[in-house]
Structure 1
Amino acid sequence: MSKPTSPAFDLYEAGIASARGRLAQDPLVARLASGDLTPEQMLRTLIEYCSFGVHMTEPVESWIRRAGERCSALGYPELGSSLVKHARHEAGHHTMLVADTRYLVRVWNNSHVPELDADQVLLGTPPPSVEEYRELHESTIAGTTPYAQLAIEYEIERLSVSLGPRVIQQAVALLGEEVTSRLSFIQEHVALDVGHTAYNSRQMASFLGEHPTFVDAMVNAG
């Protein structure tokens, strides 16, 4: 299947390239992808990823639905309807991360001291970047460019496809397949987000083809 495109979507891809490059060069991302971690470091990183991820995924259904409703209200009914429909598929995904956190804490406690308390881990304060991510969604929905929710979604799900398989590969090498195969959120989203990313890219190309002046807003959000 050929890659969807439009001149405006090509401009978006060019505009977002530097941000994608900065993320790829982030020291932790680079270490995760290359496996330059000890098994203990990988396990703690996955515990934090899952526990902090709860804060990033629990509101997703609401974000996408409200963005769709705002798009419809502002005169973009086709995109609005699509977002509202997609939102239903995102409900409850945070529960996988809760379960994954509890499982990984059990793995940790089997061979490490001091032991961790899964409830306390899940109640832990996430880093400022998580709050910034939540605020990005809220400000996008409440602002004049709710359609830029599509760019946020596209970039997040694209990460599952571009980075996810490499992280899983390194986690298998460091922790074993028995542990890694139980990570329901990562495993499911690496598989599902291939289709989601392809669908989102078609939506991006189509919407930007109709509204080429929206490229900058999409890049800023993405």
Structure 2
Amino acid sequence: MNKDIFGEAIKDFYNKKHQEDIVVQAPDFDDDIIPVSYLFRNYSEMPKIEQKALELAFGEVLDVGCGAGSHSLFLSEEKKLKVHAIDISEGAIEICKKRGIINANVQDIFDLKKTQYDTLLFLMNGSGIIGKLGSIDRFFLHIKNLLKPNGQILIDSSDISYLFAEDDGSFWVDASAAYYGEMQYKLKYKNLESDWFDWLYVDYNTLQNAANANGFICELLLEGENNDFLAKLTMASDIL
């Protein structure tokens, strides 16, 4: 994204300057919105999938795509864990630091090296950063290097096959087309507009198969009310 949409919105909300929503556009769907206040929610306001992930987090934690830092704040203040919060948004990281997250950096996960963690957190449709299904092996190969022995990856996603359901309840997608969970989005906020970017929603079976192929054990921990789920990934070599 060529403009820091989330960063500008997060800064405005934190500084009480603006109350406009972030608009999310997709080529074949109606516009959706993200209320900026949602990025500042506390633990009691989070969905059960996020609460479960935070409960299970242990050791040194990497919070990927931390946004305004709500997850990192809970882990550091309530669970007293050592947390490293990263996001590609400069504005988001600026506000994370103002909210008290000491170890917060502008960082692309794929550029992060030579550091390992006990828990990697990918929340709020965390699989999205993979972009396309064809990039999932690259994702697993990279995060494998970021995980300490006996560490875990907690990631959530959604099975969006329901978007392609027929009136009779049957499911249809073009088998010759790209994987149905590959989406493209554009963000708008005030007079700012991002470029189109790729975002991946992956169903659990596809995630599990890809994880197994790359040496991970994948466990389904919790299913939400909107076809979403939380999964835990651990290295198969850790149990040998």
TM-score w.r.t. structure 1 length? 0.26
User: Which is helix-richer, 1 or 2?
Assistant: 1
Question: Which structure has more strand as a fraction of its residues?
Answer: 2
